[in-house]
Amino acid sequence: MRASTRRAGTTAWRSTLPAAVVAGGLLLSGCGQITLDAAGAPAQSRAVISVSPAPAAKPVSPSAPLVVAVADGRLTAVVVTGPTGELRGTLAPDGRTWTSRDRVLDYAATYTVLAGAVDRHGVPAQAQSTVRTVAPTRFLDVRISPRAGAVVGVGMPLSLSLDRDLTAAARARLEKALRVTADGVPVEGAWSWSGKDRVTFRPRDYWPGDAAITVAAPIKGMRFSGGAWGERAIRHEFRTGPAVITYVDIAAHTLTYTRDGEEVRTFPVTTGKDGFVTRSGVKVIMSKERTRLMDAATGGTDPEDPEYYRLEVDYAMRLTNSGEFLHAAPWSVRSQGEDNVSHGCTGMSTKDAAWLYTHSRVGDVVVYTGSTRRMESWNGMGLWNVPWDQWTEGSAA
């Protein structure tokens, strides 16, 4: 700023803002000519500069941007310095507010604010203040499934596991902050809590095929339960493969594989016999194993029971926690397409099982019809069997 030459009713004035403001700050105008009061001294400016969050004796939350505002005037200069140097900001068109571009401040940081303004008569005002942010010792740990970069089927749920229980208010705060998109478009769906430390998102329908799924939440600066804070913003992305849905007709003993709505293959299968009836409902492939040792004892069958078995199977894909799989069953080829003779699994020829294994991925949907035994919501990824109205009741928000 330059000193102005005195004229009638005015006097020379030189800015007393530090040189850093004048040289490196947001210099919006030169100094105007200053009106004198009755005693011949420079008049007091009506411009009042304020800073938000307001400087306080105690450190403040970093959850809001730093804003410098002026009442009854316009800003002429703003410089805010923090732990990494000068904080960038944007001035409003009317010159009355300056807002930092970083929407959340850093933790354990000190910000020095230097600002200048003039009122409508050109009388200058200056302000200097310091804002300190909190230094948390605990942060909320969030683990997300599927893992970042994974490619999964369109039935794969999105889950967040937390390292601590959250209060009802904290659960609602976290849930409201979460945003889920598919290729940048918001997904119609709902979060549902299972306990106080795990929340799962389910689209109303399945995910779209071949899409980038992103979950994001600006939790840095948010305080949760037990004195824990959000350490950084959440941004997590995975992808879906083609929209693969496989249909198993228990009564007709057939399996039909579809991709992106088109039927690709149908082949004969066998499912659970009397006493071991296969569940009807929507299931999701939980895991894939090229070979797996199956032991009926894990399901509670006594080794002395005639129904006991222990054998190695090929091309196994798990569908339930209780032990339903898709797998090769060469010993039952004669019954496949004709009768149900398994202990609940869906068996097929080795050739067909190898093809299905190759063309399926974790998260693909398998829909079973034709039996009166219903799939439970807790049994594997059974969330698709929960009516939509009931699912949304699990939301904290």
Active site residues: 327, 345
Helix, strand or coil for residue 312? strand
DSSP conformational letter for 139:
B
- Check if the beta carbon of residue 35 is closer than 8 Å to that of residue 10: yes
10 Å Cβ neighbour count for 254?
Answer: 16
Single-letter amino acid code for the residue at 321: N
CB burial string 225-248: b at 16+ within 10 A, e below = beebbbbeebebebbbbbbbbbbb
State both tokens at 49: 């500069």
Closest CA to 159 of 122, 197, 186: 197
DSSP per-residue string spanning 257-294: EEETTEEEEEEE-B-B-TTSPPPBEEEE--EEEEEEEE
10 Å Cβ neighbour count for 46?
Answer: 15
Give, in degrees to the nearest 5, the angle at Cα 239 between 238 and 241.
Answer: 150
Give, in degrees to the nearest 5, the angle at Cα 391 between 390 and 393.
Answer: 65
DSSP conformational letter for 250:
T
Question: The tokens 């490196």 sit on which residue?
Answer: 24
- Spatial separation of the C-alpha atoms in residues 303 and 22, rounded to whole Å: 87
DSSP per-residue string spanning 95-134: SSEEEESSSSPPTT-EEEEEEEEE-TT--EEEEEEEEEB-
